[in-house]
Amino acid sequence: MRICCYGAASDNIDKSFLDQGYILGEKMALRGHSLVFGGGATGMMGRSARGVHNAGGTVIGVAPRFFDKEGVLYQECDEFFWTDTMRQRKQKMQDLSDAYIVMPGGIGTFEEFFEMITLKSLGQIDQPIAIFNINGYYNKLIEAIEYASETKFMYVSPDDIYKSFTDIDEMISYIEGNPKS
């Protein structure tokens, strides 16, 4: 299965997040899954790619050409796809992926997550979406989405769109048990 992982590009975050990104990548590869990601060499993206690579898995990067600068992109990808824009990047990542994991990240990660849950709530995709909620990073965001549902600003239950996990093995098992095409 090709699993798309969204996450921070910054290395200036607590090491516990980076360590969990690496372990996620490693466990994905050991369970026979490939990584599709935004091609970054640093942060959660780079750590998960290293975990997959070091465990013998396949790493597939996707990035716009304007990211082609020294130190920005992960150099050990098995496949790499270039796009002209960020929008094309997201579409290519979606086209290549069977499931999605949202690791901790900033505004770009939030934007990617919200696009995927919007598409799923509209019935445009049916792949599983998992939030990797390391150290409670997404607690407040999850609360906000649940509040939107409770107050009827969303017509689809958050439980029908994504699941949140703190345990990597449980998260991967969820994805494996909910494959979509």
Instruction: Give the other-Cβ count within 10 Å of 124's Cβ.
Output: 10
Count of domains forming the chain: 1
Residue at 179 is within a domain: no
The pLDDT confidence band at residue 178, using thresholds 50, 70 and 90, is confident
Residue 166 lies in a domain: yes
CATH number for position 38: 3.40.50.450
Average pLDDT for the chain: 96
Question: What pTM, to 2 d.p., does this model score?
Answer: 0.96
> pLDDT by residue (tens digit) across 11-37?
999 999 999 999 999 999 999 999 999
H helical segments located in 124-164:
139-150
Q: Provide the domain limits for residue 149.
A: 2-174
